[in-house]
Homo-oligomer: A and B are copies of this chain.
Amino acid sequence: MLKAERKRFILNEVRIHNRVLLTDIAETLNVSVDTIRRDITELHKERMLKKVHGGAISLGFDNIHIGRGDIYALELKTKIAQKGISLLKMGQVILLSGGTTNMEFARLIPVELQITCFTPSLPVANQLMTKPNIDLIFIGGKMAKSSQIAIGGDAINMLSDIRVDMCFLGTNSIDSKHGLTEFDWEIVQLKKAMVKASKKVVCPVISEKLHSDQRYKVCDIDQVDILLTELDPMDARLDSFRDKNIQII
């Protein structure tokens, strides 16, 4: 029995019965309780279920499981997202791009925080729908299958009518010389509109993406107000971004 198989089995059980017992699963699958415990711990970290004393229960969203089984470098992204959360103030209006970091960000927004969010990202919207205190406005348009965000004229149009306090703009690549760059032309157009629609641009990005660049440019580095990475703000890898009027957090 493969590990992945067990995990899938557990998830299915949770989906059906809404809860599982460690011992039950262990017996059913003929492996030690420790193994199941470890599986469940992983699934918990992957946010596929909730680990509780003695077993696990489903996350219990209304009708959509926002599973993020294989987010790359989830830990780092959580760290970045948390730094981002600390920037939020009650009553603010923000704009969120797509990407897994922003997903994590959306997930971590405290339930009691009352803010208005705009987003063209379907997964982010799903996430935000679970927060009763957030006013959510979806930027509509043609949905790009790969990135699950709305693109094209409609989206850009809608963005042209708004001006938000702060934009959390995920990016494919960032470099102190070439600025923010992307691989996909359509997405560049959208992100340009997002930058235009925001008073402040916050750029959450894992250190790995620093000093890399792609074909098309979204904006210059000096348009970014705040740079969020998982690194210590004093880290040497951030040196080239200093003295650019960017706040590094």
Contacts and interface: CB of A to CB of B under 8 A. Distances in A.
Interface stretch (A47-55, A187-195, A233-241): A47-55
Nearest to A127: B64
B140 A140 contact: yes
A21 B50 contact: no
B2 A52 contact: yes
A140 B137 CA distance: 7
A96 B65 CA distance: 22
A142 interface: yes
- How extensive is the interface on chain A, given as a class? 35 or more
A86 to B, nearest CB: 25
B63 A64 contact: no
Interface centre among A3, A55, A122, by most chain B C-beta atoms within 10 angstroms, is A122
A43 to B, nearest CB: 11
B57 A4 contact: yes
Interface centre among A64, A70, A126, by most chain B C-beta atoms within 10 angstroms, is A64
Interface in A1-20: 2-5, 8, 15, 19
Interface stretch (A28-36, A87-95, A148-156, A169-177): A148-156
Given A52-B2, A68-B63, A137 B132 contact: no
A69 interface: yes
Given A55-B2, A143-B137, A158-B140, A122 B123 contact: no
B64 A66 contact: yes
Contact of A140 (B65, B70, B141): B141
A138 interface: yes
A67 interface: yes
Given A138-B138, A143-B125, A145-B129, A4 B53 contact: yes
Contact of A2 (B19, B67, B70, B122): B19
B60 A8 contact: yes
Interface in A97-137: 120, 122-123, 125-126, 129, 132, 135-137
Nearest to A66: B64
A143 B154 CA distance: 17
A138 B143 contact: yes
A116 B155 CA distance: 17
B143 A129 contact: yes
A132 B139 CA distance: 21
